[in-house]
Amino acid sequence: MSDAEKSAASDARTAPVAVWQILDKLRGQDLIDWRLAETKGRASIEERNLDIGLPFGWYPVVLSKDLAVGEVKPLRYFSTDLAIWRGEDGQVRMIDAYCKHLGAHMGHGGKVHGNLLECPFHAWRYDGEEGVVKEIPYAKAIPPQVKRKCTRTWHVVEANRWVWMWYHPQDVAPLFEVEHLPEATDPEWTDYDVHEWNVWGSIQNMAENGVDVAHFKYIHGTANVPLGDLRWGDWGRGADVKAKMGTPWGEVDGCISYDTMGPGQSWTRFTGISETLLVACIIPVELDHVHARFCFTQPKAQAEGERAGVAKAIIRDICKQFDQDKVVWDRQMYRANPIICDGDGPIPQFRKYYARYYATPETTPEGDNVSPIRAAG
């Protein structure tokens, strides 16, 4: 094999890399459509070992601006159909979608009556805090079965321009709070630039990707991955990575600070080349389907000034990396007992940490006692 052939075979930035070949064919609307379309022909949940439960935490469901007073929306997350609405008092409420009367989906055609959700079928009116039926306009009496709590209500809060829901499979009250990010509501920062994907895989595999340092070369073509100091808290983790970054104006000191609070809250601050906040809004729909939205905001003076091109380029590059990972995630299985080698990154430590987000030992993924295999010699 010639030197050129050896280079082509080992350099992740060359055309033979399958991930890049797939994405090189996609441009403009074709790329957007690919990001959202279902991946056909993928193996089943059971075949990919994805039936490991869903981790609890706060998750973003809808942008606050997209839910007006008096508006009802249907949602489906955590294998559950939901109805969300904003009452006349401006507060958001959410309950399970199906009416206890004759089973109508209240997210489709439902109405807001004061602060109650009115079923489109027979106008039964539900309270979003108590989970009871408060009014039936045509009935003389409300059946006793629905005068007490009869449907699941969900904890919801608004923060960082999003409505967040608390998910716990056993309906346990929130164990931690949504982190408030000052840039998200700063009038000197831009509105969110939102990019959206459907990933046909596991939220745990996606989260694990961040500590899988070896993949950066072979998926993203990154020659060197500077490792930052990892932070492990009670419910959140993070890292600060400092590196020299090239710009049209020369080399600058840059920093990437990554933080999470539970599986559903993730944000990254980029400084150096172009100051950027990425709020990664990721939420499971099913065991093998994750809805992902990346929300970028930047200082207006930077995003609209002479460095606007660089600011946009950073967003494009981050989205491109997510596209590259998605090609793998869409068909990846969950390997409960992977064979790990030195150089893979702290995957065993991550798995031990992430297990806290599963409600019970019965729903915790098995095989998290992974230990690295050291290279011989």
The answer to whether 188 touches 305, Cβ cutoff 8 Å, is no
Percentage of the chain exceeding pLDDT 90 = 70
Lowest-pLDDT choice from 34-43, 203-212, 277-286, 363-372: 363-372
* 31 and 72 share one domain: no
| Calculated CA dihedral for residues 87, 92, 95, 100, nearest 10 degrees | 0
Q: Taking the model in full, what pTM does it have?
A: 0.88
Q: Is 320 helix (H, G, I), strand (E, B) or coil?
A: helix
351 domain-assigned: no
Structure confidence by residue, pLDDT tens digits, 247-256: 555 566 778 8
Whether 37 and 83 share a structural domain: no
Q: Is the domain of 247 the same as that of 100? A: no
- The parent domain of residue 303 ranges over 3-41+180-329
Mean pLDDT of the chain: 88
336 in a structural domain: no
Are 20 and 81 members of one domain? no
Each residue's pLDDT tens digit, 289-345:
999 999 999 999 988 877 788 889 889 989 999 999 999 999 999 999 999 998 888
Q: CB atoms < 10 A from the CB of 61, how many?
A: 23
Domain membership of residue 124 (yes or no) is yes
Q: Looking at the structure, do residues 150 and 190 belong to the same domain, yes or no?
A: no
Among the candidates 138, 167, 196, a domain finishes at 167
What's the confidence (pLDDT) of residue 251?
62
The number of domains in the chain is 2
Burial code (b: 16+ CB inside 10 Å, e: under 16) for 312-344 equals: eebbeebbeebbbbbbebbebebeeeeebeeeb
Q: How many other C-beta atoms can be found within 10 angstroms of the C-beta atom of residue 65? A: 10
Predicted confidence band of residue 282 (pLDDT cuts 50, 70, 90): very high
* pLDDT tens per residue across span 24-58: 888 889 999 999 999 999 999 999 999 999 999 99
pLDDT greater at residue 198 or residue 240: 198
Decide which of 167, 191, 217 is a domain's last residue. Answer: 167
Residue 26 DSSP code: -
CATH number at residue 7: 3.90.380.10
Say if residue 129 is in the same domain as residue 215.
no
Say yes or no: 125 and 215 in one domain.
Answer: no
| pLDDT (mean) for 231-257 | 77
Query: 137, 167, 197 — which closes off a domain?
Result: 167
Q: What does residue 307 show for φ and ψ, rounded to 5 degrees?
A: -100, 20
Q: Is the CB of residue 221 less than 8 Å from the CB of residue 12?
A: yes
358 domain residue, yes or no:
no
In a domain, 22, yes or no: yes
List of long-range contacts for 105-113, beta carbons under 8 Å, 24+ apart? 105/74, 105/81, 106/72, 107/72, 107/73, 107/74, 107/75, 107/81, 107/82, 107/83, 108/74, 110/72, 110/83, 110/85, 111/72, 112/69, 112/70, 112/71, 112/72, 112/85, 112/86, 112/87, 112/88
- What SS3 state is found at 269? strand
